[in-house]
Structure 1
Amino acid sequence: MNEVYITKSSVYLPNEPINNDEMENYLGLVNGKPSKAKALILRNNGITTRYYALDKNGKSTHTNAEITANAVEQLFDDQFTRDDLQLISCGTTSADQIQPSHSSMVHGLLNNGKSIEINTSTGLCNAGMNAFNYAFLSVKAGTVDNAVCVGSERFSAWMTADKFNHEVENLKQLEEKPIVAFKREFLRWMLSDGAGAFLLQNKPRENSVNLRVEFIDFYSYAHEIETCMYSGAEKQEDGTLKSWADYPSDEWLKESIFALKQDTRLLDEFILKKGAQSLRASFDKHNIKPEDMDHVLAHISSNYFKVGLKEEFAAVGLDFPWEKWYYNLSEVGNIGAGSIFIATSELMNSGKLKKGEKVLLCVPESGRFAYSCALLTVC
């Protein structure tokens, strides 16, 4: 088995940062009125700026595939050209189409003039880590010498007012039942667009910061807990999901079948607890200690969870001092499958890393409560 190194990383964030007061200029007003839920949600999530692949008319400026390809393009240089690329592995929640695969569309945009292996991971926040794992294992096993993995999202196109107006017209519940407004709008004020990419190689790059990948672990709790975050389906009273394909087409818009929804009750009950449980299992599996970690990068959807996550980790014997944590949620927003790539790239290019330091990555996914973690060594 080969050693595997992140030898270069990149970030692509579309357009200019958008502050909280500007959001509805891009996403639009639902039913022509400012949101009642927006201020509360923003106060709790602590996000101050984010990025949208939209102009002020709500028109798309980039596809997800274009955002992803722009991140990949930044990895090419004199030492690694587009013709050197052997595998691209992409993870996203928000592909531009159901078929063909997201990686197929990205490869088409790269125009590298040769056939390569592609892989697409779907799902929610762990889609990026699954794409990372596929690339990692491919280089480790020696089936390829290099691979590019990317996590990306283009959520803004899902959050424009026109996606919400129809249900307002039909149900009139945003005024009659404010809790419906909160549940429908919760994610509207959380999500952002962008992509982060890693170049993985079986040898470190000279005169550069390299991160050796020690392991990537995954844990699912779907056998214990019902679905929390979903799209393309509707949750039934017994907790099961009814697929979009089982609804008449005239119900798709009326019932907001394709809207991204989240059961906030389940989120609050399980997201931190199961995250701590999974990380404890990983530390025991690899016989590592919390004091060995120098940097802790945890993907969170909201700053509301920041203190609680630290406390839950500490409760299972993983007490990381605040100075070791690295967060960028307030500045870039929640970019789902791309978030951990972007945070890692920022840290990797910050000039703060020293040889021998350990970098821990932690990613939760509330879909049906799945978690991943990875350990990297600076070299």
Structure 2
Amino acid sequence: MIHSQIIGSGGYSPEQVISNDYFEPLVENADEWIFSRTGIRERRFAREDQATSDLATIAARNALESAGISADEIDCIVLGTSTPDMSLPATACIVQNNIGAKNAFVFDINAVCSSFVFAMETADNFIRSGKYKTVMAIGADTYSRILDFQDKNTCTLFGDGAGAAILRASDTPDRGILSTYMRSDGSGWELIQVPSSGSRKPINAETIANRENTFKMAGKQVYVFATSVIPEIITELCRRAGVEPSDLTHIIPHQANIRMIDFIAKKFDYPKERFLLNLDRCGNTSSASVALVLAENMNNGTIKPGDLVLTMAFGGGLSWGGLLIRF
């Protein structure tokens, strides 16, 4: 049976560090206010001359180096993002050109903060079909471009970044992606949106004046949604793989809010030190969230051969899902 194994991963966080003090004009005692509610100390913003494809390109090159392969070995690139360089062409096409992946077919996928795990699911299925041997999945976003910096409840949460993983076909049993679980619920589409950003309400002077071209989120409703689906993701992934949550070596959760991570730990009586996090340093990097943490911990040796790692995300759409991986 063909399995998908992760043979390399890479990440990139922009050099520009934005501490909580940056938001002092917006909220008094910004560092204490933000950290106590989210667990975030700082985040990274892309330079003015950097777009999502630039971040993704660096992450992709780092993943190729990690895997020890050349770009022309890539059969497909699936790029997850909700902040593409432009509405067309696909940002993945720009990344393909940048890294010289001349033999790959490429496309974007948008499941908001779930985009990377959806991209990994797609890559895994391509490989399991037997048609493709090596697929790159990328999660990349530059939310600093779409934030409303007059809304303290959203603009303080997000940062920019990119992460990439390279999957390759393998016949080694009980290694690689063991199970996946993906879900969507379009009835909640209004909870996370950029109202004026497409054909429904094109950007014009009026929508800009009303700040409708910026990110909007119904925070309380999203928290209720997330805490309801997190147990579902963990339970279903473990059931499908025939393991128990207690068997997990690490959990890589979407880096959204420390309160959600505390909820998971309490719900499953799971030690917090087994959660792999960069939330305090990077904030919520949306599509890049899980990808960045995965790359960091694969490359620094925290994730070791034999480890059982659960990754999961949730976001706009509404969307949620995860993967269970044996390294």
TM-score by length of 2: 0.89
Give the aligned residue type for 2:193. Answer: Y
Distance 1:36 1:343, change over 3 A: same
The separation in 1 between residues aligned to 2:237 and 2:302, in whole angstroms, is: 26
Q: Residue 107 and residue 248 in structure 1: after superposition, are their counterparts in 2 closer, same or farther (change >3 A)?
A: closer
| Contact 2:112–2:286, Cα closer than 8 Å, also in 1 | yes
Is the counterpart of residue 188 in structure 1 residue 155 in structure 2? yes
**Contact between 2:165 and 2:291, CA under 8 Å: does it hold in 1?**
yes
8 A Cα contact 2:235 2:245, kept in partner = no
On the 8 A contact 1:50/1:332 being kept in 2, the answer is yes
Bigger Rg, which one = 1
Tell whether 2:190 aligns with 1:230: no
- Distance of 1:333 and 1:344 partners within structure 2: 15
The superposition leaves residues 22-53 of structure 1 with CA deviations (integer Å, 9 ceiling, x where unpaired) of x35xxxxxxxx911278233431121122111
Distance in 1, matches of 2:57 and 2:164, equals 9
CA distance in 2, matches of 1:61, 1:211: 41
In the alignment, which residue of structure 2 is the partner of 1:126? 114
Q: How many residues end up aligned between the 2 structures?
A: 323
**Aligned twin of 2:141:** 153
Q: Give the 5 Å matches for 1:1-379.
A: 1-21=1-21, 23=22, 34-36=25-27, 39=30, 40-54=33-47, 60-77=48-65, 79-112=68-101, 114-159=102-147, 184-203=151-170, 212-223=176-187, 225=188, 227-233=190-196, 245-246=200-201, 249-311=204-266, 314=267, 318-365=268-315, 367-378=316-327
Instruction: Give the unaligned 5+ runs of structure 2.
Output: none
Contact 1:52 1:192 in 2 (8 A): yes
Whether the 8 Å CA contact 1:294–1:357 is kept in 2: the answer is: yes
The runs of 5 or more residues in structure 1 that have no matched partner are 25-32, 55-59, 165-180, 235-242
- Identity of counterpart residues, as a percentage? 20
Q: Distance in 1 between matches of 2:171 and 2:7?
A: 6
> Quick one: distance in 2 between partners of 1:305 and 1:139?
33
CA distance in 2, matches of 1:373, 1:128: 10
C-alpha distance in structure 2 between counterparts of 1:44 and 1:260, whole Å: 19
In the aligned structure 2, how far is the partner of 1:130 from the partner of 1:192?
Answer: 20
Q: Deviations over 1:330-368 (max 9, x none)?
A: 012211111101111122122233432211112121x24
Shift of 1:211: 6.5
The separation in 1 between residues aligned to 2:201 and 2:125, in whole angstroms, is 37
The code of the aligned residue for 2:218 comes to D
**Contact 1:7/1:204 (<8 A) preserved:** no
Q: What is the one-letter code of the residue matched to 2:53?
A: A
Deviation at 1:115, TM superposition (A): 4.3
TM-score (norm 1): 0.77
Task: Measure how far apart 1:146 and its partner are.
Answer: 0.5
Runs of 4+ off more than 6 Å: none
Instruction: Report the aligned-residue RMSD.
Output: 2.7
